[in-house]
């Protein structure tokens, strides 16, 4: 998770770096909201994948449709 957060912050810094005088003001609610939304998007994907890996059997392990958790983790 730490790697995801660092990558998002790095991406934001690179986007910001296109401007000569860009600095993120963590006191500004809009800046915190922008960062939180970006983190939420990527962390939700991470958590969804983790949950699916924990609770859904791999496709090759299923012998019938009753064994699938229905979580959409098999590309169905």
**Span 17-31, average pLDDT:** 81
CA 51, 53, 49, 75 torsion-angle sign? negative
Please give the pLDDT value at position 25.
Answer: 87
Helix (H, G, I), strand (E, B) or coil at 30: helix
* Distance (Å, whole) CA 5 – CA 73: 24
Tokens of 16: 């910001």
Residue 75 has pLDDT above 80, yes or no: no
Domain regions of the chain by residue span: 2-67
Please give the pLDDT value at position 12.
Answer: 87
CB 45 within 8 A of CB 39: no
Task: Note the Cα 72 to chain centre separation in Å.
Answer: 17
Q: pLDDT of 37-53, one tens digit each?
A: 999 998 888 888 888 87
């Amino acid at each position: 998770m730490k790697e995801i957060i660092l990558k998002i912050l790095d991406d934001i810094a690179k986007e910001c770096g296109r401007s000569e005088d860009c600095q993120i003001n963590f006191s500004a609610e809009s800046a915190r909201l922008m960062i939180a939304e970006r983190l939420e998007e990527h962390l939700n994907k991470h958590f969804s994948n983790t949950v699916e890996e924990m609770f859904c059997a791999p496709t090759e392990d299923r012998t019938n449709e009753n064994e699938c958790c229905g979580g959409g983790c098999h590309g169905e």
